[in-house]
Each structure stands twice: as C-alpha cells, then as structure tokens.
Amino acid sequence: MLLRLEMVTVPVASIDRAKAFYVDQLGFSTEQDLRVDEDHRFVELVPPGSTCTIALTSGYVDAAPGSLQGVQLNVDDVDAVHGYLREREVQVTDVQEFPWGRFCFFSDPDGNGWSIHEVSPS
C-alpha cells in the first residue's frame, strides 16, 4: 500500500491575496485556478521542486483562515532560501539552529505557519 501526500489545503480568507503571496513572493507556480460557481473556487499551487501541492479553496473546506500550522518545506540550503524570502519581502525569522536541524519560520497573510528546514546530508 502506498499513501502519497500530494496536496495540503491552506485555509485563507482571500484566495486572491493568498495566491499573490504564494506565487509572487514565495515563487510557487499555478497548477490550476478554477471557479466552479460563485461560491466555489479551487486554486492549486506548486512549491518549487515539490511533488506535493497546496490548495486554496472557497466553498469546500470548513477551516478557519490561519489555522494551518507547522507545515514544513525541506531545503538543501536554509541560508539561501532565507535570503530569497527576505529579498521578496517575506517576514521570515532569523535562521535558528536546533539539535535536529536549521530552520527559519514565516506565516502567510492569514497566519498559516510554515517552517523551512535545512536537510542535513546523510
């Protein structure tokens, strides 16, 4: 049995504002943006280099905007990603070192919390 995590729904108040943040500031690409009717919209975005996408939706998932916390993006060089985020005016924490790795943290405009984790070579 294979269980592949391929999409995470990110609860947001405004799809357009969130899409602008994820695409223009974080560099995600748009896989699809479908308005089914006045109450239902589905936007799928892809982080650079990821096989897992995120979904910004209206009318499908009943979750409070900003309630998603602890989503982690793994990277080879947290310092490079940190610099990239700062250049794009993302409010990101300083790089922090923990016994389990190096991280920086940011939130989207609704307060959904993300971490960037530098994966140590094995």
Q: Are strands 96-98 and 40-46 parallel, antiparallel or unpaired?
A: unpaired
Report pLDDT for 120: 77
State yes or no: pLDDT of 122 exceeds 80: no
pLDDT digits (tens, 9 = 90+) for 94-121: 999 999 999 999 999 999 999 999 987 6
As separate numbers, helices (DSSP H) first and strands (DSSP E) second, the chain gives 2, 8
% the chain with pLDDT above 90: 94
The sign one gets for the Cα dihedral 66, 70, 75, 79 is positive
Domains and CATH numbers, the chain: 7-118 (3.10.180.10)
Please give the full DSSP string across 78-96, using - where no structure is assigned. HHHHHHHHHHTT--BPPPE
- Rounded distance, CA 17 to CA 122, Å? 39
Radius of gyration of the chain (CA): 15
Cα separations in angstroms, 121 against 67, 71, 74, 108: 32, 21, 12, 29
pLDDT digits (tens, 9 = 90+) for 63-92: 999 999 999 999 999 999 999 999 999 999
